[in-house]
Structure 1
Amino acid sequence: MKLLTVASKIQADNILNPYLNIFEKEDLIIEKCISKCGDFYLIDYGLDKNNNKKNRDLKDMFKHCIAEGIADIIIDKYQENIIDRLLSYNLYYFDKEERDKIKTNTIEYLKKDEFVNTEGITYKISKRARVLKSVIGFFEENDSINLEGFINFRLKYYLEAIEDAIDKNIEDYFAEKEYKEFIKILQYFVDIQEPKREIVHIIFKNSRYKLIDEKRLAINNELIEELSQELSEIDINYDDLLISSLITIAPKKIVIHIDNISNNNDIINIIKNIFQNKVTVCEGCDLCLSDLSHPFKGY
């Protein structure tokens, strides 16, 4: 009795074998014939005529086991092939190193984002569970499956999820590239500036900050005030003002004092990237515990 035919461009036999172990444990013999037709490998599964089980129940159980294997093949094997194909088509003008980086980031993103919204339903379902459901539904009406055709015509939602992941990671790649170029420009400005302070201490409290020098004098000189007035005329935020102030001062060393690093992680990373080995984060001192309302003596 014929059970199922699986056609694919990859050799799926060894991958699917472990999903059929349950039949060996029940001493049920599943016959298979492997052949090749053009680019496709064909696996014809059949039921040994000597078994005494109900054929219909056995066939349904067999299809469910194979469906489990096919779902994993699609997620583990075909997903990377699909990403390669889409990147080659859409990013042909990128060099190999750029495509490889976007590919790696996309794969990692898809691993983290394991859930997709179901159509017309607000809750989420895992990608594998939805692919498995699609395969099982297909087997209810078919005794053969072409994996490439099934993916292209029955898993459009899955292809769209991969395309969305690629688009996001292309955007992230360009954003990261622009960020690195921007940081290089700021580093250049720092390098050509004459240092106006030996040390600048930055005291962060509740997303606010205060700058003091090595003598613990508040840095509120006319230069910073003038810069603040200039920047207030354009759309610039509090963090931008801090970065601009530090570049203007161009200190030889920066010490960061902070009560909660997670609240200011982005701005701290930017400061580190611009000033690099000039930056240290204090592990705890009286300045870390100080109140910004404390009257540091200014110029």
Structure 2
Amino acid sequence: MDAIKIESTVPAEKIHHIIEEIPIKKDVNISYEEYENRFRYIFSLNKNEIKRDSLFLDTLTKFVEDMIIKFYADDLISANIDRKLGKLDSVNRSEIIEDVKEVLKSNTLFIKEKKDIKNEIFEYFVEYNTLIIDGYLNFRSKSYHKLIEKAIELVLGNFQLEVEYGEFIDMLKALVESQTHEIDTVNVVLKGEKYILMDSDFQKINNDHISMVLEDLYYDEVSDGDILLSTIIALSPKELIIHLGDKSKGDIISILEEIFEDRITICRDCKICNKYTI
């Protein structure tokens, strides 16, 4: 097949690593031309590889996708953020841009949209021998801009959840710090989804009243985790010991660690860890 030309504003020294990652590089002749601060990369198959046209076009499609992510995505994402949110501080902007790029590179998110873009580039190469990346992004690829919009919406949604979660943790920390300590030490033995609460003498703490209050508030059954969290916050102990044994922490324990910080200890191997089972 005829040589295919890909034009860009990105110089050769910046894309060396992308070219080196081309899986059929040994079967492809690659050269480039420079003119008026633009660069034209010329790809052609060796004569004895003429039957590998489809793989060749797949390779060039991947090359264009990598170029876009590496050298064009930041500006495209940034412009889209400006339209949606206006000006952001540099820290938040950088974090959002990097998170959006991770979404664009992900193999599990927006699979259909990415497949459509890949097919779009592939079909372009079937019809034309020259692709100018800047022109493609500016005038032809509505699908790529739609993908970026969806990726930004996903990241902003997650970002908002993180903000709300941080505010939730800060509120609980402030609540705990403002309360009088009802008890010096609380031992929590966690087995599966169940738990036992004990004081410093390892006497069981009865928290049935908290369970009843929560059920009355929410008119429904509440989870053991919700009851555990509410009980410990209400008791606001000076010391909190979580006896996990070989169990993983889980979300509730991670939340308690954020709230109680240096007042919490995770125990993995003691007589209490080994004694109690549920």
Could you tell me the TM-score, scaled by structure 1's length?
0.73
Name the structure 1 match of 2:81. 87
Name the structure 2 match of 1:76. 70
Letter of the 1:277 counterpart? D
> Residues 44, 253 of structure 1: CA spacing in aligned structure 2 closer, same or farther, 3 A cutoff?
closer
Which string of whole-angstrom CA distances, capped at 9 and with x for unpartnered residues, describes residues 236-280 of structure 1?
Answer: 433222111111111111110125533x51000000011110111
Distance (Å, rounded) in 2 between the aligned partners of 1:131 and 1:260: 46
Higher relative helix content: 2
Task: List gaps (5 residues or longer) in structure 2.
Answer: none
Select the residue among 215, 224, 227 that pairs with 2:210. 227
Task: List gaps (5 residues or longer) in structure 1.
Answer: 48-52, 120-126, 294-299
Name the count of aligned residue pairs.
268
> Residues 248, 141 of structure 1: CA spacing in aligned structure 2 closer, same or farther, 3 A cutoff?
same
Name the structure 1 match of 2:257. 272
> Residues 266, 218 of structure 1: CA spacing in aligned structure 2 closer, same or farther, 3 A cutoff?
same
Deviation, 1:41, is 2.2
Matched, 1:101 2:102: no
Distance (Å, rounded) in 2 between the aligned partners of 1:253 and 1:279: 6
Distance (Å, rounded) in 2 between the aligned partners of 1:9 and 1:291: 67
Q: How does 1:1-299 map to 2 (within 5 A)?
A: 3-11=3-11, 15=15, 22=26, 33-36=33-36, 41=38, 43=40, 64=57, 66-113=60-107, 116-118=110-112, 127=114, 133-152=119-138, 154-220=140-206, 224-235=207-218, 236-259=222-245, 261-262=247-248, 264-291=249-276
- Superposed CA RMSD: 3.7
Give the stretch that moved more between structures: 152-161 or 101-110: 152-161
Distance (Å, rounded) in 2 between the aligned partners of 1:46 and 1:242: 63
Letter of the 2:38 counterpart? Y
Which string of whole-angstrom CA distances, capped at 9 and with x for unpartnered residues, describes residues 213-252 of structure 1?
Answer: 11011111xxx44333221112243322211111111111
Distance (Å, rounded) in 1 between the aligned partners of 2:165 and 2:109: 30
Give the stretch that moved more between structures: 149-158 or 165-174: 149-158
Distance (Å, rounded) in 2 between the aligned partners of 1:42 and 1:160: 27
Q: SS state of the match for residue 128, structure 2?
A: coil
Could you tell me the TM-score, scaled by structure 2's length?
0.78
Q: SS state of the match for residue 287, structure 1?
A: helix
> Residues 83, 44 of structure 1: CA spacing in aligned structure 2 closer, same or farther, 3 A cutoff?
closer
Q: SS state of the match for residue 186, structure 2?
A: strand
Larger Rg: 1
Deviation, 1:146, is 2.1
Deviation, 1:207, is 0.3
Distance (Å, rounded) in 1 between the aligned partners of 2:103 and 2:65: 19
Which string of whole-angstrom CA distances, capped at 9 and with x for unpartnered residues, describes residues 122-181 of structure 1?
Answer: xxxxx5x76554333212211322213323555444433332222121111111111111
Distance (Å, rounded) in 2 between the aligned partners of 1:142 and 1:101: 37
Contact 1:5–1:42 (CA under 8 A) maintained in structure 2: no
